[in-house]
Amino acid sequence: MKAELLLPIDATRRGKLRLWKAGLTNRYAAFDAWYGTRDARRLASDFAHAGSSGGRQRKLARLDHILTAFGAQLEHRQLERKHPFAVWALLRPRCAMARDDPEPRFMQDCVVVEYIAAGRLPGRTVLDSATWTLGSAITRWAD
């Protein structure tokens, strides 16, 4: 492990980091409010049940337009097979990960990647999300 990763960040970068996390928090709160709506479920269902290639592309474009407004990025799409499916990644700030370690760097708030999946799996329609932890690496970027 490089020694420079263990050094604290300066006040300017801490300020930029706070502003960045505040923006992420606001976008994620807006996504979370939308995610529970009937409109979100309807869009996912329309995408999952679109029969033509053009229809799937239009429904995907509509979902993508909404999700990118929340800061999500389309990572994968599969439109050609019987069951269309798409996955987006969305950064979400959260509190510190529970960890028994004497070093304070492991007790800092962190940023995780929330994966949003929409489409159809055999037997069901899905609009789901899951979280993957990036750890502290994302919070220590260079200008």
Which pLDDT score is estimated for 127? Answer: 66
CA separation (Å) from 73 to 5, 29, 32?
Answer: 27, 17, 16
Q: Is residue 65 part of a domain?
A: yes
The domain in which residue 55 lies consists of 9-139
Q: Is residue 90 part of a domain?
A: yes
Which pLDDT score is estimated for 68? Answer: 93
Residue 54 to residue 75: CA distance in whole angstroms? 20
Q: Is residue 100 part of a domain?
A: yes
For the chain, the domain total comes to 1
Q: Is residue 48 part of a domain?
A: yes
Which DSSP category does 56 fall into?
A: H
Q: Is residue 3 part of a domain?
A: no
Q: Is residue 4 part of a domain?
A: no
Side-chain-facing half-sphere of 120: CA atoms under 13 Å: 19
For residue 106 the two structure tokens come to 């492991």
Helix (H) or strand (E) segment spanning residue 21 = helix 11-35
Q: Is residue 66 part of a domain?
A: yes
Helix (H) or strand (E) segment spanning residue 45 = helix 38-49
Per-residue pLDDT of the chain (143 residues; tens, 9 = 90+): 444 455 667 888 888 888 888 888 899 999 989 888 888 888 888 888 888 888 889 999 999 999 999 999 999 888 888 788 888 998 888 776 666 667 766 677 778 888 888 887 666 656 665 554 443 333 333 33
Q: Is residue 2 part of a domain?
A: no
Of the candidates 28, 2, 49, the one whose C-alpha atom is nearest the C-alpha of residue 129 is 28
